[in-house]
């Protein structure tokens, strides 16, 4: 039986990678999906993929760093489907891979603006709407970089620790009002972002698979669909007693 029949789900950064896989999984589990991304072509493709598989989806272009745009995104969900039950705040950027002392203020601010501020703005707007609905479930995309450090990625690490902190705080504040908030912390996942990090770290000498697979005890990198499975489960009633958690989905990386 589908986990989210008749629910309405929102996914930011849904034009590719984990976001797209999550939007497709929400639809597979019976939800009507609001697909959001700055990348219009990618977002519209995700929405069309959902419709081709028999699901319901609407695409809207949204900049998660703009409070007015985020509020408009929530209005789109409510105007289109009448409510908002689930949300996955996935939009994020990686920034440059450089030494701490060589990190620029501009790069730091750009990464924090999308990953930390963007998650905050989405959480705030989603919670406001879910309070009107009588509850809901939200999953934020953090990273194993929100649990441990990574040389060369100071702004990204800081931003993902912030995501995990926002997750815990929102869960504490709104648990009694029927809103659960969790984060997932992926390890190396087969996405454009991982390819970009590998290219920067090795100067293009190694693929993301060659560089990252040996670092995971499970012996490989993950697939976006594997992260999506966890996200959608956390948004379902099957995870009704799970909130405030920062859950690794990392092939054992942080267990080392």
Q: What are the residue ranges of helices labelled H in 3-88?
A: 17-28, 40-52, 67-81
Residues 213-236 as b or e (16 or more Cβ within 10 Å = b): eeebeeeebbebebbbbbbbbbbb
Across 105-217, the runs of DSSP E, i.e. the strands, are 136-141, 179-186
3-state helix, strand, coil in the chain (%, to 5): 55, 15, 30
- Give me the active site residues, please: 156
DSSP 189: B
DSSP 54: T
User: Phi, psi (5° rounding) for residue 138?
Assistant: -130, 140
User: Which residue matches tokens 């408009």?
Assistant: 72
Tokens at 138, concatenated: 């939200």
44, 82, 84, 92, 238 from 14: Cα distances, Å: 9, 21, 17, 11, 24
Beta-carbon count within 10 A of 82 CB:
10
């Amino acid at each position: 039986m589908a986990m989210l029949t008749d629910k309405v789900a929102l996914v930011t950064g849904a034009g590719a990678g984990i976001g797209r896989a999550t939007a497709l999984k929400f639809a597979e589990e019976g939800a009507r999906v609001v697909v959001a991304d700055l990348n219009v072509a990618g977002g519209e493709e995700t929405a069309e993929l959902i419709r081709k598989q028999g699901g319901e989806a609407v695409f809207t272009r949204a900049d998660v760093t703009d409070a007015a745009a985020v509020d408009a995104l929530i209005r789109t969900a409510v105007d289109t489907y009448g409510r908002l039950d689930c949300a996955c705040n996935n939009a994020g950027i990686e920034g440059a891979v450089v030494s701490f002392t060589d990190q620029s203020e501009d790069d730091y601010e750009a990464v924090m603006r999308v990953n930390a501020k963007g998650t905050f703005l989405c959480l705030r707007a989603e919670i406001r709407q879910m309070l009107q609905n009588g509850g809901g479930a939200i999953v934020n995309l953090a990273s194993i970089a929100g649990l441990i450090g990574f040389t060369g990625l100071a702004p990204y690490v800081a931003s993902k620790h912030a995501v995990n902190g926002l997750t815990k705080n929102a869960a504490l504040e709104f648990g009694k009002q029927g809103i659960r908030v969790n984060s997932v912390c992926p390890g190396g996942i087969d996405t454009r972002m991982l390819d970009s990090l590998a290219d920067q770290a090795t100067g293009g000498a190694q693929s993301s698979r060659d560089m990252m697979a040996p670092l995971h005890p499970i012996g490989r990198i993950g697939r976006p669909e594997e992260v999506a499975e966890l996200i959608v489960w956390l948004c379902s009633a099957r995870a009704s007693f799970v909130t405030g958690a920062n859950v690794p989905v990392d092939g054992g990386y942080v267990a080392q």
